[in-house]
Chain A
C-alpha cells in the first residue's frame, strides 16, 4: 500500500529532523499523560490498597462502581468536565478550560478508576498470601497498605502503564476540554484527529506511528524493568 509506506517515510523524516512542532506536541502529550498518571497513582493506588485490605459496609458497591467507571466513555467524561470547568460552570472561576491542566484532569478522571480497580485486584491476591504473616507480626490492615504497595511495586508499575496507555491514546475528552489549540493544548491524538479531518492521511498516520513508537518504547522499558526485578527480587 503506497499510503502506508509514504506515511512511514514521512514519520521517519519528521522524527529524524527533530521537527519543532512535532517535538512540542510529543512533549506536551507526555507531560499531560504522565502528570495524569501521577495524579491517578496518588489517588488510585491507596484507594485500591484500602479496598484490598479493609472490610467495610459498601465495599462491594465501591468495587462495582470502580469497575463500571473503568468503562466510562471518554466523551462523556470530557463533556462533564467541560461543563464543570466552563466559565459558566461551577468551577469556571478557576479558568482551567482549554488549558493543559484541564486535559490532565480529564485523563486523571478516566484512568484513576482503572488504576484503583486493577491495583485492588493485584493487592487483594497479595494480601491473601500476606495477611496471616503480617497480622502475626502485629500489622493492622491499614499499616499493611504501604507494605503491600511497596511489595507490589512491579505489578503496580504495570497497572500504571495500563493507565498511561489509556491516557495517551485518549482523544475524545482532551479534544473537548483542551480545545486542540495549536502550540498550547494540541497533543498527539488531537493532532492526529485534526490531520485526519484535513484529509492529510499520511501525516495523521505518521503522527500515529510516532505515538505508537512512544507507547511501545515505554512498555518495552517497563518489560525490561519487570524482568530485571523478577531476577533481582523474586
Chain B
C-alpha cells in the first residue's frame, strides 16, 4: 500500500531471547506474509508479548534475527494505552511529528484517523480524561494516522469491557481490510477465532504451530495446540 515496497514477507530466523537468566524465547522461526491478521496465541508466559516487542524492535534478540523485505512503517498498540497529558488531537499530532510527517499534512491525517475509530468529536478532549475503551480507540487512531504497513497489538482488549472490546475488534478488522498487516496477541481463543486469518501458537518460548486459522481451529496438528483448544491447562 501507499506506493512503498512491501516490508513483507517478514522472516524470523532462530530467534532467541534471554532476560535475567530466563529463556523467554528459543529458536523461533517463521515467516509472515501479506494477508489477513495473524493472531499470536498461547498460554500466559509463552513469550507472546516478548515476541511482539522483538518484531517491533523494542527489544534486541539474544540470538537470531528479524528480517524485513523492506524498511517497514510499523506501529504498536499496548495492553494499557499510554496517552500524553494533552488533547486527543495533540496526542496524534505528536506521533505524526515523531514520524516526520509535516505540519500541513497532520490535520487531515488526524481527522481521518479519528473518523476511522468513530471518535471525531473527541478531537479537543484531554486524552487522559477518556474512558479506557475510548483511550484504546484513540491509541488505534494514533496508529492508523501513521499509515503503518504492519500493526502490532499486544492484548489490546485485555482490560476492556465487552462493548469496548467489540469496538476495538471492529476497528482492527477494518484496518486489516484496508491492507495493513495485523499481528496481535490474545489469550482469548474466541477473539482469535473472530479475527484470525492465520494463527501462530507459542508454547514455552517455541513455536508450537503456525497455520491458517481454518486449519488451526479444525484440525490442529501439534499436541500443544490440541490441548490448548480443548481448554487443558498447558504449562
CB pair B86 A132 closer than 8 Å: no
Query: Any chain B CB within 8 A of the CB of A139?
Result: yes
Contact pattern, A 71-97, Cβ under 8 Å of B = 1, otherwise 0: 000000000000000000000000000
> Is there a chain A Cβ closer than 8 Å to B126's Cβ?
yes
**Contact mask for chain B residues 109-132; partner A; CB cutoff 8 A; 1 contact, 0 none:** 000000000000000001111000
Which of A136, A154, A232 contacts B58, CB < 8 Å?
Answer: A136
A136-B126 CB under 8 A given contacts A147-B84, A234-B85: no
Q: Which of A133, A150, A152, A234 contacts B126 (CB 8 A)?
A: A234
Contact with B along A143-170 (1 / 0, CB 8 A): 1000100111110000000000000000
Give per-residue flags for A112-138: 1 if the beta carbon is below 8 A from chain B beta carbons, else 0.
000000000000000001101111111
A139 (CB) vs chain B CBs: closest residue = B98
Asked if A233 and B85 make an inter-chain contact with CB atoms under 8 angstroms apart, the answer reads: yes
| Cβ contact of B85, chosen from A132, A137, A139, A151, cutoff 8 A | A151
A23-54 interface (Cβ within 8 A of B): none
Q: Which of B93-109 contact A (CB under 8 A)?
A: 94-95, 98-99
Contact status of A132 and B94, CB under 8 A, knowing A138-B99, A233-B85, A233-B128: no
User: Which residue of A133, A152, A154, A234 contacts B82 across the interface (Cβ within 8 Å)?
Assistant: A133
Tally of contact residues, A, Cβ under 8 A: 20
| CB pair B84 A151 closer than 8 Å | yes
Whole-angstrom CA separation of A194 from B128 in the bound complex: 51
Contacts of A137 in B (CB 8 A): 75, 94-95, 98-99, 142
Q: Provide the main secondary structure of the chain A interface.
A: helix
Known: A147-B84, A147-B94, A234-B85. Contact between A133 and B128, CB under 8 A? no
Q: Inside 8 A of B56's CB, which chain A residues have their CB?
A: 136
Chain A residue at minimal CB-CB distance from B83: A234
Given A132-B78, A147-B84, CB of A234 within 8 Å of CB of B129: yes
| Chain B hits for A138, CB < 8 A | 98-99
Smallest Cβ-Cβ distance to A234: which chain B residue: B128
Q: Chain B's nearest CB lies how many Å from the CB of A131?
A: 9
Q: Does B76 contact A (CB under 8 A)?
A: yes
Residue in A closest to B53 when the chains form the complex, CB atoms: A132
Output the residue of B75, B78, B84 with the most chain A CB within 10 A: B84
Query: Shortest CB–CB separation between residue A132 and chain B, in angstroms?
Result: 6
Cα distance A134–B97 in the bound complex, in angstroms = 12
- In the assembled complex, the Cα of A136 lies from the Cα of B94 at a distance in Å of 13
How far, in angstroms, from A152 to B85 measured CA to CA in the complex?
A: 8
**Are B86's CB and A233's CB within 8 A?**
yes
**Set B58, B76, B78, B127: member contacting A234, Cβ < 8 A:** B127
List 17 A-B residue pairs with CB atoms under 8 Å apart, sorted by A's residue number.
A132-B58, A132-B82, A134-B82, A134-B98, A135-B58, A136-B56, A137-B75, A137-B95, A137-B99, A137-B142, A147-B84, A232-B126, A233-B85, A233-B86, A233-B128, A233-B129, A234-B83
Q: Which 4 A-B pairs have the closest CB atoms?
A: A234-B128, A133-B82, A234-B129, A151-B85
Residues of chain A having any CB pair with chain B under 8 Å: 129-130, 132-139, 143, 147, 150-154, 232-234
